[in-house]
Structure 1
Amino acid sequence: MRGVRSRKRPKKTRADILADIVGHPKGAISVEELAYMNPPLSEDSIRRHLKTLAGVGVVEERTFDPGERERDYPYKFYELSEKARELFDRNGLFPPDPWQRQYQSVEKTPRICDIEQMSRPRS
């Protein structure tokens, strides 16, 4: 149809974000990495989805203290909460192995590779 934009449904978008968190080799992902993996989404949109997921206890935010990270690199990362991982495991949702294989199969820019290899803040 003309004039109608294709938009992902919020549940599908949040499932994609969760799959990327699970698939990330460090288990904690930055908004910049999520934006790279989900090009139709803006960073603001991703932040809104992460806020919703955090609000219901599915994801947790990890942040570096000021001065702990390199300049121009992310300081916030998002990971699954323990309760979410237990729930997903109990129900066969978001098994890590296939999502990690899929995440690794995506070709990434040098910047995204650098961010992917960064250490993450401690919980």
Structure 2
Amino acid sequence: MTPGLNLPGPVAELTAACDAYEAALMANDLAAMDALFWDSPLTLRYGAGENLYGIDEIRDFRKARPGGSPQRQVTRREIVTYGEAMGTCNLEFRREGSTSTGRQSQTWLKTPEGWKVVAAHVSLIGEAS
């Protein structure tokens, strides 16, 4: 195993942060989602139909999205930490009423305020046959 890879403490912390993000996303809890993203103009989120640069664009997008994110079921999740302060959370999901598979990738950084998403990407694969 690579030294520093998937240390138990960071994995547990990042898993809790990822769980909190998923709960906030499904509840459309904008304050909780904002608190889990790095408050920086360098934060980015590429969505299924938008490219957002900086926390202000991300916040504006969330505020303008009526009803929040469509409900979804996570079908697979992989969390990897690299040392004490960097990690990734990649997951696959299915939106309710859809046969499309969605993918979400997040890069997380541990800051003095806790784990924060510094980059995210969401995409959808076409309808299953």
Same fold per superposition (TM over 0.5): no
Question: Normalization by structure 1: what TM-score?
Answer: 0.27
Greater fraction of residues in strand? 2
Question: Normalization by structure 2: what TM-score?
Answer: 0.26
